[in-house]
Structure 1
């Protein structure tokens, strides 16, 4: 479980570190740099596994790599440019609930009553988070929040086909090849979306990019997968609800973000709703 908690802390810190990297280059350039670093690490494995991937799997692999490592990351980090790290990581914490409702409406996987109840509380929390604004050191932008929520919706949309492809070709092959493909597929988006190609070199910006490329894109996945061998899927799902808690605490400590009382109340409501959605079925199963 310790491996997975460390992975969640690393993922929760990505938006905080990105704020530092924005002083050096634009969000699109940051995503490209992060993917290039991860691709260089994964390239030897990708070359080893590419011949083992069936030809019919290449098309879904390319589409999923484009969605997962390019569009989702661009939506997240462009959105982050317009909102605080605390609000961004809180909205990312909604992914488990969004995944349930995507499954309900698009994949014939009905949501249960407590999903609807916690979903209402989470929606109210999002409204409070955006309406509350900031007192100092942070912000809660509607535009940025919409982009981040869109990234979570797309992640939930591709989760099932991604799992299907991983079951077919294996975790190592999918992880290595998709990261390399992601770095390549991101290039035209970077050329179009980058505000500027100028890089204002700073030591803290350079360290931030290396951290995101090595720790967030490679090490965290390695630790998470290592933890999966000894932690049940149910416990892993519950642990993911802790990511926004770690992210908010790091934003307060390292960025000095101070959202308004209404925004903090909304963030707390979102986190509460997500954790409740994970805990209620366990209590119901024990009661049965």
Structure 2
């Protein structure tokens, strides 16, 4: 897609819309758990979204090699099955706001994984951001390291997301971005459906609320949200755009409070603020030409993609 000038006001509107869809999906998902078991709910969400997108991209170039389909399947297991499975399992025991905050610590974990597995050298400011962010995680958990099942799943979502990010940067240039998005969601959704039918006691109550939740998560919070986000990434600096991800957990907390009357302790706000500052420092490009998180990973990935 050719980049065109995007009006600052339109950029702000689109950022708010896409991050609202990201963040509010935690709350909508928690509502859905009243009618559908966690893995089955998220499996239905991404299987539907993946099928719709697969139809939309049917004329786009699809991989010819079996190994490339295997790569897409692996990304789907990490980015969709791993991330979303952990999120929806976490929502059984912690608030939508807490789950969204923990999940969106993934940029901090990418710094650690990028150093260990890809040998990326980050700037001091990025390490300060990671340190500040992880202090925020400690505070968000209540100033102690006693992890509940819900918090473990929330952190697990961030770990899977980080792995998915690195894999996409390693292999993503092999694929049309929309084909990759469609089929990784479809493969991940099918895996979640299978897990929902075998690893938990399946529950599915068909009523207007459950149908609305499933369709909202599949269409608005998946297809529309992905489309807007990829458009923004394509139109501007990916590092600067990614820094606005801090708005997603904000909307997760806000919608949880408005729709579910969730009470969020003060230390969750304090820890969340430090996490957002850490993510900002990790992602933001302060000077023209300064390396950013996505750019660093992409540079390391290029030799493996050629």
**TM-score for the superposition, normalised by structure 2:** 0.81
Counterpart among 152, 161, 181 of residue 158 in structure 2: 152
- CA distance in 2 between counterparts of 1:262 and 1:187 reads 36
Which residue of 1 is the match for residue 224 of structure 2? 219
1:190 shift after superposition: 1.5
The answer as to 2:221 corresponding to 1:230 is no
- CA distance in 1 between counterparts of 2:61 and 2:189 reads 16
- CA distance in 2 between counterparts of 1:76 and 1:113 reads 31
The answer as to 2:291 corresponding to 1:282 is no
Verify the 8 A CA contact 1:11 1:216 in the aligned structure 2. Answer: yes
Verify the 8 A CA contact 1:118 1:274 in the aligned structure 2. Answer: yes
The answer as to 2:192 corresponding to 1:186 is yes
Deviations 1:229-269 (A, max 9, x none): 32222321222232222222222222222222223222222
Which residue of 2 is the match for residue 75 of structure 1? 86
Deviations 1:53-107 (A, max 9, x none): 4333122122111222212211111012111111111112211111111111221
Which residue of 1 is the match for residue 54 of structure 2? 43
Which residue of 1 is the match for residue 3 of structure 2? none
- CA distance in 2 between counterparts of 1:275 and 1:168 reads 29
Counterpart of 1:200 in 2: which secondary structure? coil
Pick closer, same or farther for the CA change 1:201–1:3 going to 2, 3 Å.
same
- CA distance in 1 between counterparts of 2:193 and 2:260 reads 30
Verify the 8 A CA contact 1:130 1:142 in the aligned structure 2. Answer: no
- CA distance in 2 between counterparts of 1:258 and 1:186 reads 30
Counterpart of 1:282 in 2: which secondary structure? coil
> Which aligned pairs between 1:158-177 and structure 2 lie closer than 5 A?
158-177=164-183
- CA distance in 2 between counterparts of 1:223 and 1:276 reads 24
Which residue of 1 is the match for residue 262 of structure 2? 257
**TM-score for the superposition, normalised by structure 1:** 0.86
Root-mean-square deviation (Å): 2.5
Count the aligned residue pairs.
278
- CA distance in 2 between counterparts of 1:54 and 1:46 reads 18
Which residue of 2 is the match for residue 105 of structure 1? 116
Pick closer, same or farther for the CA change 1:199–1:185 going to 2, 3 Å.
closer
1:148 shift after superposition: 1.6
Pick closer, same or farther for the CA change 1:19–1:185 going to 2, 3 Å.
closer
- CA distance in 1 between counterparts of 2:288 and 2:63 reads 44
Structure 2 unaligned spans of 5+:
1-10, 291-306
The answer as to 2:131 corresponding to 1:131 is no
Counterpart of 1:229 in 2: which secondary structure? helix
Verify the 8 A CA contact 1:101 1:111 in the aligned structure 2. Answer: no
Which residue of 1 is the match for residue 129 of structure 2? 118
1:188 shift after superposition: 2.5
- CA distance in 2 between counterparts of 1:155 and 1:70 reads 10
1:121 shift after superposition: 2.6
